[in-house]
Amino acid sequence: MIRVPPLAVLAVAAGPRGGARRSSQQAEARASAEPSVAGVVSMTVLIGEVDIPETLFRAQRDDKLVIFVGAGASCAPPSGLPLFRQMAQIIVAGSGLSVTDGDLDNPDVILGDVEDQHGVDVHQRVAALIGAESSRPNDLHEAIAALAAACPRVRIVTTNYDRHLSEALTAQGLVFPEAMAPALPLGDDFAGVVYLHGHLDRPSRHLVVTDA
């Protein structure tokens, strides 16, 4: 089990239009009018429409920042990958089956049923969807890689199957270890990219796709 170190976790998702918002030229620091609990005036940095608290910058400096990245990061072009719910819907429809919107609230359960009851290799179908040759890292992957490059160590945890984060990090000239399910690091002293559900460089049967 990964134990996140104290202080800071940055969760990354797509913006309102599915894209990244990053522009250092638009960054402006501003002091909050309200003191913190400790009586110290807090500072935030406004980048686009996102307020980033000063504690995240301190965590970055002190090697206590862990970046969590979900499927939304790979939606925007040129990645163009579906969210898990959408992916389950595509696989179910491609198998000649139908489900309700309520069923799709638990896509891992639905995919498990499709595999167990209908003999569909959902792991291979997930790999085929996510591994589309046209899919490439997008602006958000590059922004995450730039943030990680500014940290003492790369420390990213992702539920994504695609390799776009690793590709973006490599493009930054970074060398980093990788870990993936089921062999996940123990404790909070880890570095590199952790693929909680596996990734496409491994056989598709190793991907964590169903509830089984």
188 within 8 A of 5, measured Cβ to Cβ: yes
Residue among 33, 17, 5, 20 at smallest CA distance from 164: 20
Residue among 116, 107, 67 at smallest CA distance from 89: 107
Sheet with strand 8-12: strands edge to edge: 8-12, 65-69, 155-158, 192-195, 178-180
Residue with tokens 């402006």: 28
Q: For residue 30, which amino acid is it? A: R
Res 212: pLDDT = 79
In tens digits, what is the pLDDT along the chain, a chain of 212 residues? 544 444 455 666 554 433 434 433 333 333 333 333 344 445 666 666 777 788 888 888 899 999 999 999 999 999 999 999 999 999 999 999 999 999 999 999 999 999 999 999 999 999 999 999 999 999 999 999 999 999 999 999 999 999 999 999 999 999 999 999 888 988 778 999 999 999 999 999 999 999 97
Q: Show Cβ contacts of residue 96 under 8 Å, excluding neighbours closer than 6 positions.
A: none
pTM tops 0.75, yes or no = yes
Res 54: pLDDT = 83
The DSSP bridge partners found for residue 192 are: 155
Helix axes 107-118, 122-130, angle to 10 degrees: 130
Taking the CB of residue 114, how many other CB atoms lie within 10 A of it? 22
What single string gives the DSSP state of each residue in 57-87?
A: HHHHHTT-EEEEE-GGGGSSTTT-PPPHHHH
Distances from the Cα of 101 to the Cαs of 74, 107, 146, 181, in angstroms?
23, 10, 38, 29
Coil, strand or helix: which one is 20?
A: coil
Res 17: pLDDT = 37
